[in-house]
Structure formats: C-alpha cells, structure tokens
Amino acid sequence: MKLYNITYFLREGVTSIFSHRLMSIAAMSVIMACLLLMGSFSLVVANIENLLGDIEKKNQIVAYVDENWEYEAGNLGVYVQETEEVPEEVTEETEEISEEVTEETQEEVTEEILEEISEEISAGEVDANRDETQLINALEERIGKEILKIQGVDECTVTTKTQALEEFRKDFGEEGEILNGIEERNPLRHRFTITLKDIENTQSVADELKKIDGIAKVTARNDIAEKMMEVSDVTTLVCTVLILILVLVSVFIISNTVNITMFNRREEIAIMKMIGATNSFVRIPFIVEGVLIGLAGATFALLLQWAIYDYVIVEALSTLAFISSVPFGELVWDIVKMFYGVSALVGGLGSVITLRKFLKV
C-alpha cells in the first residue's frame, strides 16, 4: 500500500471521529470501561497468583513429635554407628574387624560424651547447648531421615521445643517475660517443618508422615491455598461474564458510531463506488475509524489503570499485612499488549459488522 493512501485513510478516520464527537466519546468510554475491568481483573489475578506462589513456597507441613518420644544415650550411639560409613560389600572376615572398629569408635564416643558431660557440669550454659545439639542430631537421625524418604518431600527442618519456645518468646516481644517460668515444663513439642515439592502432594505426604514412629500430630495448611483458588475461580467467572458483556457492548457501540459515519458519507460512498473505487478503499477509512476509537480508549484506559492500580489495588492489598503486591511496572507490558490488542480487535470488529451490512454492490 502506498504511503499517500495510508495518510489518506488515517486523515479520513480521524476526521470522522471528530465529526461526531459525542458518539466517539461514548464508544471510547465503553471500551475504556471494558478494558479497565479486564485490566483490574487480570492485575488482581496476577496478584493472587503471586500470592499462591508464595503460599506454595511457604506451603509447609508441620509434624509434631510425640511428647513421650525420648532419646537415650543408646540412640545417640546408634546414630554415630550408622553415620560411620560401612561399605556394603564386606566379607565376613572384614566384618568382624569392622565391628571391632566400630565398637572402639563407640567407646571413644561414649568416652567423649562422658568427658563432655563432666565438662558441662562445670560449664553451665554450654551444657544445655550440648544437650540441644545431641537432641537435634537424634531427631534428624531417627525421624528426619524417615521424613525425607517420603515421596514429594523437598526439605525438612527440625525445631526443638526449646527453640520453639524461644520463637514464641520473640513473638511476644516485650511481654515475653510472662513466659519466664514456663521453661521448667515446656508445653511445646519438637516439630519438623516439611517443605513440599508440589502443593498437590500435601495430603499424601501428611498421611505418610502420620505413619512414622514418633510423630504425634500433622498439620497441613493446604486449606488457605484452596480457599484462595476458590475465590479466584468465582472472580474469574464473574469477570469473564462482565468482560464478555462489555466487549459486546463495545463492539455494538463502535458499530453504531461507524454506522453514523457511513450514513453521513453515504453520498461519498456512492460516488466512490460509481467512480470505481475498490471495496477495500471504501472500507478502510471506516475500519481505521473503529480501530482508532479503540486505541484511543485503550490509551486512556491504560493511564487510568495505572492510577487505579497504584492508588487502589496496592493500597487495599497492603492493608492485609501478609499480602505483597506485584508492582505495576512488572505487569505493564502485558497490560499494554492486552489493551491495545483487545481494543484494536473490538474496534475493527465493530466497523466490519457495520460494513458487512452495507457496501454490498
């Protein structure tokens, strides 16, 4: 297509828009409303998805260790023995030797522990820390290893009840002192925090966890994610219906606007056709008009969307402390593509519908 034709089409399109300003403004407004709804909806969805992603990351199962579970020195011994890597293919002859070796090691370790204990008696705090480390080791060895064997488990970290109480105290902040006497009979339990590879596995992993010896209680917080998904499903449905209606209204109004132009220009059109203008030459200015109205609506919608997003959505979300919103800049290109794409399509479609009714000859 020649450049002078393109400038002609654009000029004609713009002239028509200005020749019936009110109708054009009405059409732009409806497109704008449609896009704003579409944009706000997808921005909210983007935020929900972002949030779900967070939850998915945070989606953890907490397994509490039975209060009656206790580790004895023997347990620790087993632990040390097992970590000593014994090659599997050992001949019976070497096995005896290795047993001796391990017994020795065990003795050494026991001696070490005894030494440590005596040191601890004199060293106060260090004493407690030693206990704690041993406890952690034992927990990891006896329960943690089992947990990691479960399909779908990504990581698992252990928190002893002392650590848990410490966290608790932090949460209480200045009022932490009300917990002061409680160490004696710490009501909390040791717990394992299990991170899943995939949120889908929550239930099966929880079931497996319950079977492990020493695990008393399992809590999964899958319900939050499910609630969020339910909410977003409903919003999706409502918004889709609304958007569809608005798209139809936009197409209808643009179609009417172009119809007015065609009526105003019916003589010109007749003359053009009589002279031998091709159908596309006659039609393109009207399509340009529809598309331009759409694009203008999209531009206003984009600016408004930005403002709305920064001042409304972000504000609203920030009142819910646990929600972090996605900055507009991260989403702007998707919004730009969506707005201009949809508006051009709606504008073009509106024109084409009108054009199909006329210009048959």
Q: Smallest distance, Å, CB 1 to another protein?
A: 9
Nearer to another protein, 122 or 280 (CB): 280
Among 87, 124, 173, 276, binds another protein (CB under 8 A): 276
Q: Smallest distance, Å, CB 6 to another protein?
A: 12
Beta pairing class for 191-196 and 60-65: antiparallel
Distance from C-alpha of 336 to C-alpha of 275, rounded to nearest angstrom:
41
Nearer to another protein, 173 or 276 (CB): 276
Among 74, 275, 321, 329, binds another protein (CB under 8 A): 275
Phi-psi region for residue 325, left (φ > 0), alpha (ψ -120 to 50) or beta?
beta
Part in contact with another protein (CB under 8 A); list of ranges 31-39, 170-178, 268-276, 327-335:
268-276
Q: Among the residues of the chain, which ranges form H helices? A: 3-19, 21-58, 73-83, 92-123, 125-139, 145-149, 161-172, 202-211, 222-264, 266-275, 279-308, 314-319, 328-357
Q: Smallest distance, Å, CB 2 to another protein?
A: 7
Work out the angle at residue 250's Cα, subtended by the Cα atoms of residues 249 and 254, and round it to the nearest 5 degrees: 120
Nearer to another protein, 227 or 356 (CB): 356
Nearer to another protein, 178 or 274 (CB): 274
Nearer to another protein, 117 or 270 (CB): 270
Quote the DSSP letter at residue 173.
Answer: G
Binding mask 114-153 for another protein (x = CB under 8 A): ----------------------------------------
Give the count of residues interacting with another protein (CB under 8 A). 18
Residue 293's alpha-carbon distances to 23, 304, 334, in angstroms, are 10, 17, 21
Q: 83-98: b or e for each residue (b if 16 or more CB lie within 10 Å)?
A: eeeeeeeeeeeeeeee
For 10, how many CA atoms within 13 A lie in the half-sphere containing its CB? 6
Is 267 one of the binding residues for another protein (CB under 8 A)? yes
CB proximity list for 222: less than 8 A, separation 6 or greater: 59, 199, 202, 203
Nearer to another protein, 5 or 118 (CB): 5
Part in contact with another protein (CB under 8 A); list of ranges 43-51, 173-181, 246-254, 274-282:
274-282
- Positive or negative: CA dihedral 230, 233, 237, 238: positive
Nearer to another protein, 33 or 352 (CB): 352
Give the N- to C-terminal CA distance of the chain in Å, as an integer: 24
Is 211 one of the binding residues for another protein (CB under 8 A)? no
Is 263 one of the binding residues for another protein (CB under 8 A)? no
SS3 55: helix
Among 279, 310, 312, 324, binds another protein (CB under 8 A): 279
Neighbours of 163 (CB within 10 A): 15
CB proximity list for 92: less than 8 A, separation 6 or greater: none
Is 177 one of the binding residues for another protein (CB under 8 A)? no
Is 252 one of the binding residues for another protein (CB under 8 A)? no
Part in contact with another protein (CB under 8 A); list of ranges 51-59, 175-183, 219-227, 267-275:
267-275
Is 274 one of the binding residues for another protein (CB under 8 A)? yes
Nearer to another protein, 168 or 281 (CB): 281
Element (H, E) at 63: strand 60-65
Is 359 one of the binding residues for another protein (CB under 8 A)? no
Q: Smallest distance, Å, CB 199 to another protein?
A: 58
Among 128, 244, 271, 307, binds another protein (CB under 8 A): 271
Structure tokens at 47: 């935020």
In the complex, which residues of this chain contact another protein (CB under 8 A)? 2, 4-5, 8, 267-268, 270-279, 281, 361
